[in-house]
């Protein structure tokens, strides 16, 4: 029986930048990440593509050139990789705060949509979303939860209207370090307040795992305070509750591992720690728990994503330069696809 070939398997490029830089380890070059991704192989299966962070440190030469999309498409094709979801540099502004910050946020979404269109027109991008978040801290948000959620939603709506002109969808990444997105309930409040058909949720298995623990919102914790990690039935029940609420909104998905802790390097705030796929301290059964996102409450495949992606933010450079790291990550993605994918 032929193996599943959907969803497509992508690697992320932004882990070469996030948490790196002058106050941390050096940035890992974009080309190095492409080389490691393209070289990874598991029983004849290779990565299908990459999801790309639209940051000058990696792809400025393409972002800021009239023919940049075509040239990047040619580069990716040379590695036999497609482009998928794109991360807008919304941290240049914020969805909350001054008018200038919010205008900059919307402009960054516009730039991402324009570049995404270039990649589509070049035939290298066949799906994916534009990823955003509030670019505001939970602490700042908590000064006026209702008012700030309203303002974030207003900014998201403006960005959604821009994205709609390009046929793009925006996926808000649920992460404990972003205000109005720092708990599963706050995230749903923001999505409901935004109320745009082309705005949804981006679920990362590591970040959403911290939702269960209520790290930045104890009142929204799902797992009991005295939870023991060997109680897998209670853990699964918590997953059912969280994914039942967020799965209908989910339009982009990151496979990841987490050890139940938070981590931050460089300028990045503490958030769900991304662990290696083979980390013995990982609390997730990657294949099993991915199924809560990729299947509905009846166990049927949702087929909601053309591709799934591994996000390995803030791994040490020593780890990221090892080819085995990416082979192990690809192997985890293949296992997820074998269990929850389809033929297309």
Alpha carbon 90 to chain centroid, angstroms:
14
Q: What is the mean pLDDT of each run of 10 residues along the chain (344 residues)?
A: 89 93 90 98 98 97 96 98 98 98 98 98 98 97 98 98 98 94 98 98 95 93 95 98 98 94 47 80 96 98 98 86 97 98 96
Planar angle of CA 90, 55, 258, nearest 5 degrees: 75
Model-level pTM? 0.96
Q: What 3-state DSSP class applies to 252?
A: strand
Alpha carbon 99 to chain centroid, angstroms:
27
Give the whole-angstrom CA distance, residue 85 versus residue 130: 6
Give the whole-angstrom CA distance, residue 62 versus residue 74: 11
DSSP 8-class letter at 220: G
- Of residues 206, 154, 197, the one with CA closest to residue 329: 206
Angstrom distances, CA of residue 308 to CA of 27, 75, 205: 24, 21, 11
Q: What is the pLDDT of residue 263?
A: 47
Q: What is the pLDDT of residue 267?
A: 38
Q: What is the pLDDT of residue 275?
A: 86
Give the whole-angstrom CA distance, residue 342 versus residue 344: 6
Give the whole-angstrom CA distance, residue 15 versus residue 11: 10
Give the whole-angstrom CA distance, residue 272 versus residue 207: 5
Q: What is the pLDDT of residue 315?
A: 86
- DSSP string over 48-92: -EEEEE--HHHHHHHHTSTTHHHHHHHHHHHTT-EEEEEE--GGG
Give the whole-angstrom CA distance, residue 302 versus residue 298: 10
Q: What is the pLDDT of residue 19?
A: 83
232: left (phi over 0), alpha (psi -120 to 50) or beta: alpha
* Inter-residue contact 128 to 51 (CB < 8 Å): yes
208: left (phi over 0), alpha (psi -120 to 50) or beta: alpha
């Amino acid at each position: 029986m032929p193996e599943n070939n959907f969803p497509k398997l992508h690697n992320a490029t932004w882990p070469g930048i996030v948490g790196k830089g002058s106050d941390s380890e050096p940035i890992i070059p974009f080309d190095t990440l492409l080389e490691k991704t393209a070289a990874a192989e598991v029983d004849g299966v290779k990565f299908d593509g990459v999801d790309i962070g639209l940051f000058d440190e990696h792809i400025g030469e393409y972002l800021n050139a009239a023919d940049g999309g075509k040239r990047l498409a040619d580069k990716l094709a040379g590695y036999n990789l497609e482009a998928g979801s794109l991360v807008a540099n919304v941290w240049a502004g914020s969805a909350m705060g001054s008018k200038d910050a919010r205008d900059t946020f919307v402009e960054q979404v516009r730039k991402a949509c324009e570049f995404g269109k270039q990649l589509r027109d070049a035939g290298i991008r066949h799906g994916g979303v534009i990823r955003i978040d509030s670019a505001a801290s939970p602490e700042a948000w908590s000064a006026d939860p209702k008012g700030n959620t309203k303002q974030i939603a207003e900014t998201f709506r403006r960005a959604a209207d821009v994205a709609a002109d390009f046929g793009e969808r925006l996926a808000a990444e649920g992460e404990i370090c972003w205000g109005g997105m720092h708990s599963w309930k706050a995230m749903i409040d923001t999505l409901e307040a935004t109320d745009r058909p082309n705005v949804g949720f981006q679920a990362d298995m590591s970040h959403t795992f911290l939702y269960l623990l209520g790290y930045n919102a104890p009142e929204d914790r799902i797992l009991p305070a005295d939870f023991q990690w060997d109680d897998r039935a209670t853990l699964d029940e918590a997953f059912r509750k969280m994914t039942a609420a967020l799965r209908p909104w989910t339009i982009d998905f990151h496979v990841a591992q987490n050890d139940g802790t938070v981590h931050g390097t460089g300028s990045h705030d503490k958030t769900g720690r991304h662990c290696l796929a083979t980390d013995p301290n990982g609390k997730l059964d990657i294949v099993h728990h991915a199924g809560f996102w990729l299947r509905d409450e009846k166990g049927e495949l949702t087929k909601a994503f053309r591709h799934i992606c591994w996000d390995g933010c803030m791994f040490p450079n020593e780890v990221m330069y090892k080819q085995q790291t990416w082979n192990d990550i690809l192997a985890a993605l293949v296992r997820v696809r074998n269990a929850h994918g389809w033929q297309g």
